Amino acid sequence: MKAKITQIKKFKKNTRIQGFFLVREKHLRSTRTNHPYLQLQLQDNTGSIEAKVWEDVPAFEKSFEEGDAVVVKGRVSQYAERLQLEIEDIGKASPEKHAEYGFDFTKLIPASKLNVNTMWRDLGRIIKEMSNPYLKELISTIYKDNTEVIKSHPASMKLHHAWLGGFLEHILSMAQLGVMLAKHYHVDEDLLLTGILLHDIGKIMELNPAQKPGYTDSGKLLGHIIMGRDLARDVMAKIEDFPQELQLKVEHMILAHQGKYEWQSPKQPKFMEALLLHHIDELDARMNMMAEAIDKDNEPGSWTNRFNYFRRPLLKGDLSEDGNE
């Protein structure tokens, strides 16, 4: 008889669970009394949860690595008003050993709810309609050379669109907004779209694929902003007679898209397309983060808990009839 598998979104306090998860983070730590424990971040395609291993730490620590799929038994508890998992048994999972018990690696990886091929076609139509030949060649070259990774990559590690196809979903949403807002604010649409399509292109080198969450070595040492600027610069250098002023503007938009020095932005936006790029990026990311916080929340009633990026309860939809939520 197969054991019942519980997904993270269905975790409830003071219940025992068993299931298959992906190890997003793994840290060996010590208590104040110098007792070792493992602190983990586990995920499946319904959510993520912090987990701890208190007993038999030396043996368990060697049985799996960050990025592995694991089979887990444990108890769901609550600490500081947040659910966490106290692990009693954990080991590496594999199709050979665990398929008959319900193990399916695809169920551990969050993926875009939108069709990737449809998104790719929609983005292709936007690129095709660009009129500036230099910018169009720049974008077409980079996106053609990196098609498969762009279609599958996450947009971030944790904050927003952190799933298979998330990069493409984020870029397409921004591009659709860009087409509308360029007309509204009377800015250069092709330049704005170029900034949108290239602002995070360095993330395809900074981040590992969604199947194995984490940062690459070059990502840790350089970061996506510098890597993206370098990629764009290399391609522009190969396009005959690419205008120098246009190259400077493209590079500036990549370097300034995060908007603030305290957000690790090397530059702040210094012309209208660069400023608009920054705010479109922020808008799309924050709207996605709020939608995810609401979708992943398990609290009863009309409001989420306050443990989200915004650090406040979020209204899920309509207010409850009694008004006491």
Query: How sure is the predictor about 114, in pLDDT bands with cuts at 50, 70 and 90?
Result: very high
pLDDT digits (tens, 9 = 90+) for 155-194: 876 778 878 899 999 999 999 999 999 999 999 999 999 9
Mean pLDDT of the chain: 91
Using the predicted structure, report yes or no on whether residue 113 has a pLDDT greater than 70.
Answer: yes
Q: Which pLDDT does position 325 carry in this prediction?
A: 44
Q: Tell me, what's the pLDDT at 52?
A: 96
Is the pLDDT confidence value at 2 over 60? no
User: What's residue 157's pLDDT?
Assistant: 67
Residues of the chain with pLDDT > 70, as a percent, come to 96
Torsion sign (Cα): 154, 157, 162, 167: negative
Q: From CA 153, how far away is CA 146, in angstroms rounded? A: 11
The full set of domains in the chain, from first to last, is 8-108 (2.40.50.140), 116-289 (1.10.3210)
Rounded to whole angstroms, the Cα distance separating 307 from 292 reads 12
| Residue-wise pLDDT tens digits, 226-279 | 999 999 999 999 999 999 999 999 999 999 998 888 777 889 999 999 999 999
Q: Tell me, what's the pLDDT at 23?
A: 92
